[in-house]
Amino acid sequence: MMKKIIKTNEISESAKKSMVTRIITGIVMAAVAIPAIVIGGWFYFFLILVLALIAAIEIVKASNLKGLTRVLIYFVTIVFTLGIIYYSMLNSNMEALRSEGSEAFRKFDFLPNSFHDINLSIMLITIMLCVYFLISFAAEPFHIAYVFYFVSMILVITIGMQSFLFLRYSPFYFFYNAYKADPSIWEDIVKGPSFKYGQSMLLSIYVIIGVTFNDMGAYFTGMLFGKHKMNERISPKKTWEGFYGGVAISFVFSVLFAIITAAIGKPMLPFFDLQHIYFPIIISLVMPLISDVGDFVFSSVKRTFGVKDFSNLLPGHGGVLDRVDSLIFASALVSTLIVFMNEMLQTTSIV
């Protein structure tokens, strides 16, 4: 009985050229993002600020609004996007600013202590709703469907961007709480440069690994073996073969990363050690799944407005939202699960 030979798909010249462009752009993006992630502090803060600003511009660009209405919506969308992301940080540090003034900005723990949770301002969201509804009453091209589009997209982007900040800064908060009973450990280890520029960034790298390997695995597996389409109406090129390949590759590499960091005594979080390794294993399993959901959501938005990409800022990738769509959803879910797991452990220890 002859064994069935698995044949790979033929790759066209245009696909090869696109692949090269994507790789080159990916290298450039990594050269910008990785130093900011490693250094952290205000460098990473301003990287996320720029990404949020571009994301706000891209959701307006995709809507195909014209004239003065477009200009007004640009202004309103940028203001509320940045305001909702950073309001909680400013609010949580208001006491430090009042008591210490500009000196608070120079303290390294000013930023980390601001992002130990995902916290959106209900006040700003309420004002945002009122403003967009008022515009829909006054500006004829801006109908009610636009209101729900912009409000939904702003909430998705702000939750995602806050999650980016949470993943980079929250390890300081969690490790401080874990070791605050012994100040010498906090001073000697957690405040040292190896933690500041090393261990504290592992959580961000972990999520990036999970999302990136899911994207890469799905892209190459789908290109070589993809035959069965997932949902041609929303994303014509995605296949089930690519989906399974991406999930499997993402899970393997993210779990390995979690196990290695825990085994060498540098866990991403205090409760991601070997004793609780099932936490990152659970996250590694759901991370690629929610990444694909994010990809489909943003693809659906583009199909609705009849645009191929949110912008052409990144050759081979499209715009910022085309590149971080999966990362936004994955970061939001991972951040939520981390807060939940921490609360669960705190409740268990109290009981």
Instruction: Report how far apart, in Å, the C-alpha atoms of 5 and of each of 2, 8, 175 are.
Output: 9, 10, 52
Extract the tokens encoding 185: 């450990």
Q: Which residues pair with 229 in a beta bridge?
A: 239
The whole-number pLDDT of residue 345 equals 87
The whole-number pLDDT of residue 349 equals 57
Alpha carbon 330 to its chain centroid, in Å, reads 6
Do 93 and 104 form a contact (C-beta atoms < 8 A)?
yes
Q: Is the pLDDT of residue 280 over 60?
A: yes
**What is the per-residue pLDDT across 213-263, written as a single tens digit (0 to 9) for each?**
999 888 888 777 867 788 777 777 788 888 899 999 999 999 999 999 999
Block residue for tokens 């990287």:
47
| Amino acid of residue 152 | S
Block residue for tokens 């706000």:
56
The half-sphere exposure of 220 on its side-chain side, counting CA atoms within 13 A, is 12
pLDDT band at 154 (very low <50, low <70, confident <90, very high): very high
Q: Is the pLDDT of residue 351 over 80?
A: no
pLDDT band at 15 (very low <50, low <70, confident <90, very high): low
Q: Is the pLDDT of residue 89 over 90?
A: no
Q: Torsion over CA of 81, 84, 90 and 93, rounded to 10 degrees?
A: -140
CA-CA distance, 206 to 266, in Å (whole number)? 13
**Three-state SS at 229:** strand
**What is the per-residue pLDDT across 27-84, written as a single tens digit (0 to 9) for each?**
888 899 999 999 998 899 999 999 999 999 999 999 989 999 999 999 999 999 999 9
pLDDT band at 326 (very low <50, low <70, confident <90, very high): very high
**Three-state SS at 121:** coil
The whole-number pLDDT of residue 108 equals 45
Mean pLDDT confidence for 7-23: 66
Do 150 and 77 form a contact (C-beta atoms < 8 A)?
yes
Do 287 and 189 form a contact (C-beta atoms < 8 A)?
no
